[in-house]
Structure 1
């Protein structure tokens, strides 16, 4: 059973993260399914908008740590990278519809979207440092550009949750929308985008995303350091503590 549902209607691809019993935590297969969905519309000449959202009570709890830990070393990275790279290179506008939790990559991926709508109760967190890891997929480059170095340092170096209001104030969100209204708000934006001329729409996005090479370079640099971080004592301790549901040993977390 796939935990990724896709719908293609009226020139709009909707990708739904649908693993509600696990707070939409993402596995290797889910990343690959999302990557495949984006690859399928890459040059179809018809799809004009992509929507990404989560089913149930949250957007996503981030990576499924158990799935990550059970794989051979670095095995999960290729599927995650496939999704994030095709998302970053997506030629048509991408809308994120966010509610509940947006943990780890659930926040990182928003930096590669064009419109981000979130409900007032949404909580975001970039917890990589608390796992002995480093930022991913150009977030160490894009987040300071969006929010400024000072706020990005708070979010990336402390790894504490922040609110939808904070995210909106510092440029991570297009708008905060009541839970009862967010579905229609996103649908309305999608309809407006679909009504625009295709050439102008894709070229406007391309012009705004003119730093593609710099973003790719940062992704590659982060990727190398991320893999190195996975083998450090701090990361091994953090993962083991999480899986065994025990406190972190501070002596190993230095």
Structure 2
């Protein structure tokens, strides 16, 4: 088994477990990830997904030999299916990143809502070194996140970024001690899972929609009004007023 799946208090923990290959992703692993995400999307018990590797390595990227034997990059390709699922998955995704995060090991993080890392991390996108171009939407998402010049250093020059640099650029939410990383990220994911699911997913969708400020305000008001009348908000308001 190369992807370990474990449900804890509303959090589906997906562990990349291929240490002998530094958690390089194979086609089998992509299939397992797609299957897990499809089940997570359909299961109301799953409120958050947490991606993690081991304490010393997140992922060295694609298993190139396996990837090259995977055939055409069409809708049936496991890698393509995983990337599409990442882009459209409606529930929050959290990542705990230690050690190497190379290629897809970094670009998949651009789809996560919270990313926790530790100091020994190294983020690198060596696409041009391999004669390739960016993937997973990183040509759009990375410049939006860190700016064109910094993204160019990563995507064109393939320059590595430390955990401290990633934090400063906004690629990482918070740095955590390596020994405590996995537990810390899980606790944050559990905290997120305990919040009203509809409100969290609505807020997430609003933040991710491409829109002008005026259309964002209109979309927010529409959803705000819907949630205001919902049971989660009504209960929260009652409890607040009782405390007052």
Give the TM-score taking structure 1 as reference length: 0.79
Distance in 2, Cα, partners of 1:4 & 1:30: 6
Q: CA offsets per residue over residues 168-206 of structure 1, 9 Å max, x none?
A: 111100011110221222122112112211110110111
Q: CA offsets per residue over residues 75-134 of structure 1, 9 Å max, x none?
A: 898111111211221211110000010000000000000000011000010000101110
* 2:143 counterpart residue number: 144
* 1:209 counterpart residue number: 208
Distance 1:148 1:154, change over 3 A: same
* 1:83 counterpart residue number: 82
Distance in 2, Cα, partners of 1:152 & 1:140: 8
Please give the root-mean-square deviation of Cα atoms over the aligned residues, in Å.
1.7
The question of whether the paired residues in 1 share the 8 Å contact of 2:27 and 2:70 is answered with: no
Gaps of 5+ in 2: 212-244
Gaps of 5+ in 1: 213-254
Distance in 1, Cα, partners of 2:126 & 2:97: 18
Distance in 2, Cα, partners of 1:188 & 1:56: 16
* 1:234 counterpart residue number: none
* 2:172 counterpart residue number: 173
* 1:64 counterpart residue number: 63
Which of these two proteins has the greater Rg computed from alpha carbons? 2
The question of whether the paired residues in 1 share the 8 Å contact of 2:71 and 2:77 is answered with: no
* 1:231 counterpart residue number: none
Aligned length: 211
* 2:188 counterpart residue number: 189
Structure 1 runs of 4+ with >3 Å offset: 70-77
The question of whether the paired residues in 1 share the 8 Å contact of 2:53 and 2:59 is answered with: yes
* 2:12 counterpart residue number: 13
Distance in 2, Cα, partners of 1:171 & 1:67: 32
Q: Secondary structure at the match of 1:158?
A: coil
